[in-house]
């Protein structure tokens, strides 16, 4: 059976409404009509002979055309392939420049991909800045810790200013001794306060007995006056001791402590300077190539920066120690004279000298209950 006879039989079968076309018959017809060329399966696959033409229209969907079905209208001798009407959307898309197409495809890709957003370089991110600060702090802490451990183990070298270090050691030793003196003076003031309270109570008891014992009126009266005088002088001495404690405490806790803070900053700067100096020396001992040269230059800059910081802190501490020594001598000179004169006048029983000492240093007694009269005095 030749090809013409086969095509005629198939055409008759397809045109007969009572005969249901077989699946894939259209593909077979097109292959038979053009045995040398293969039809596109995306267009002809799954279509019957009743699928005759495609119309296009402007729709909101992504489809460029709508396939309409209808009775086959064509020649009975030759089957016609499906006709595609022109689409305005497709034509406009083909007429666009290549740059617009690339831009649109880039937008579609950007919308379809949910990736990390990359910001511009000029936009500063606070989180990144904090992360950078933490990174620098970690590197600096590591270098300083390594330097301190190497110094304690005797493997590393440290920069030492012999004169300044000696002054710092003397200041620390004096600070400990001054704190000990303050504690002892506070103990003395506490005990003196208890003694003054006891003397005052004892004087009140003697005064009461002098009133109730006519035969011993004078003896109890003398002892009452003596204890009252001692308690009054003790309050005056207590005021002088408290002033001495407050002044020395201010010297230790504020003036000297402020200098100690500068000394700690100086020591931190010295450790950083030695750490970056050691790092630079290690890099200089290694080979020089394209990789190590930038590291050496960066290390040189950091070393120079910490060197300037160390020298500045060293000069500040030297000046601070000088002014501290002058202030310390002046303060302690006056306070030691006050303490000596007050103690000497108290134990000598010289009330006028004791009061004169307090006036000399502008000390005003502010003891709670010191000016209140006793019960016996209120009775009189």
The confidence score (pLDDT) of residue 36 equals: 45
Q: What is the 3-state secondary structure (H, E, C) of the chain?
A: CCHHHHHHHHHHHHHCCCCCCCCCHHHHHHHHHCCCCCCCHHHHCCCCCCCCEEEECCCCCCCCEEEECCCCCCCCCCCCCCEECCCHHHHHHHHCCHHHHHHHHHHHHHHHCCCCCCCCCCCCCHHHHHHHHHHHHHHHHHHHHHHHHHHHCCCCCCCCCHHHHHHHHHHHHHHHHHHHHHHHHHHHHHHHHHHHHHHHHHHHHHHHHHHHCHHHHHHHHHHHHHHHHHHHHHHHHHHHHHHHHHHHHHHHHHHHHHHHHHHHHHHHHHHHHHHHHHHHHHHHHCCCCCCHHHHHHHHHHHHHHHHHHHHHHHHHHHHHHHHHHHHHHHHHHHHHHHHHHHHHHHHHCCHHHHHHHHHHCCCCCCCCCCCCCCHHHHHC
State if pTM tops 0.75: no
The confidence score (pLDDT) of residue 311 equals: 93
In whole angstroms, give the CA distance from residue 295 to residue 374.
83
What's domain 158-379's superfamily in CATH? Answer: Arfaptin homology (AH) domain/BAR domain (1.20.1270.60)
Q: Which two structure tokens, joined as six digits, stand for 187?
A: 């103990």
The confidence score (pLDDT) of residue 118 equals: 46
Q: Do 52 and 73 form a contact (C-beta atoms < 8 A)?
A: yes
For the chain, which residues make up each domain, given as ranges?
1-56+76-84, 158-379
Tell me the pLDDT of the chain (380 aa) as tens digits.
Answer: 455 555 555 554 455 544 444 444 444 444 444 444 444 444 444 444 444 343 434 444 444 444 444 444 444 444 444 444 455 554 455 445 444 444 444 454 444 444 444 444 445 688 888 888 898 888 888 888 888 888 888 888 888 889 999 999 999 999 999 999 999 999 999 999 999 999 999 999 999 998 888 888 888 899 999 899 889 999 999 999 999 999 999 999 999 999 999 999 999 999 999 998 988 888 888 888 888 888 888 888 988 999 999 999 999 999 999 999 999 999 999 999 999 999 999 988 888 888 888 888 878 766 444 445 544 444 44
The confidence score (pLDDT) of residue 308 equals: 93
The confidence score (pLDDT) of residue 362 equals: 77
Nearest to 21 by CA among 8, 31, 11: 11
In whole angstroms, give the CA distance from residue 244 to residue 203.
28
Beta bridge mates, 68: 53
Please list, in sequence order, all residues whose beta carbon lies within 8 angstroms of the beta carbon of residue 299, skipping any fewer than 6 positions away.
276, 279, 280, 283
């Amino acid at each position: 059976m030749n090809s013409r006879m086969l095509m005629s039989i198939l055409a008759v079968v397809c045109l007969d409404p009572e005969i249901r076309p077989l699946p894939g018959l259209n593909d077979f017809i097109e292959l038979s009509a053009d045995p040398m060329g293969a039809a596109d399966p995306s267009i002809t696959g799954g279509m019957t002979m009743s699928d005759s033409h495609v119309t296009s229209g402007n729709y909101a969907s992504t489809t460029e055309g709508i396939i309409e079905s209808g009775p086959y209208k064509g020649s009975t001798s030759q089957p016609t392939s499906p006709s595609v009407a022109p689409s305005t959307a497709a034509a406009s898309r083909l007429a666009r420049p290549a740059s617009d197409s690339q831009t649109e495809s880039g937008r579609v890709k950007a919308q379809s991909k949910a990736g990390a957003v990359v910001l511009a370089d000029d936009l500063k991110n606070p989180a990144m800045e904090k992360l950078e600060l933490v990174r620098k702090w970690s590197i600096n802490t590591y270098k300083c810790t390594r330097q301190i451990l190497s110094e304690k183990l005797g493997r590393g070298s440290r920069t030492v200013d012999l004169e300044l270090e000696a002054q710092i050691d003397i200041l620390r030793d004096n600070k400990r001794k001054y704190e000990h003196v303050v504690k002892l003076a506070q103990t003395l003031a506490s005990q003196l306060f208890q003694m003054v309270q006891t003397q005052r109570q004892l004087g009140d008891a003697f005064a009461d007995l002098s009133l109730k014992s006519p035969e011993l009126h004078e003896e109890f009266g003398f002892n009452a006056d003596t204890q009252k005088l001692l308690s009054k002088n003790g309050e005056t001495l207590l005021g002088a001791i408290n002033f001495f404690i407050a002044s020395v405490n201010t010297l230790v806790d504020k003036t000297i402590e402020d200098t100690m803070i500068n000394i700690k900053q100086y020591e931190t700067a010295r450790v950083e300077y030695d750490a970056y100096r050691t790092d630079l020396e290690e890099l200089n001992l290694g080979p020089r190539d394209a990789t190590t040269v930038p590291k050496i230059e960066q290390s040189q800059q950091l070393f120079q920066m910490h060197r300037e910081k160390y020298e500045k802190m060293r000069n500040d501490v030297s000046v601070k120690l000088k002014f501290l020594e002058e202030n310390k001598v002046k303060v302690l000179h006056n306070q030691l004279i006050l303490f000596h004169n007050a103690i000497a006048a108290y134990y000598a029983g010289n009330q006028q000298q004791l009061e004169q000492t307090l006036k000399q240093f502008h000390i005003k007694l502010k003891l709670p209950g010191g000016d209140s009269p006793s019960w016996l005095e209120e009775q009189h």
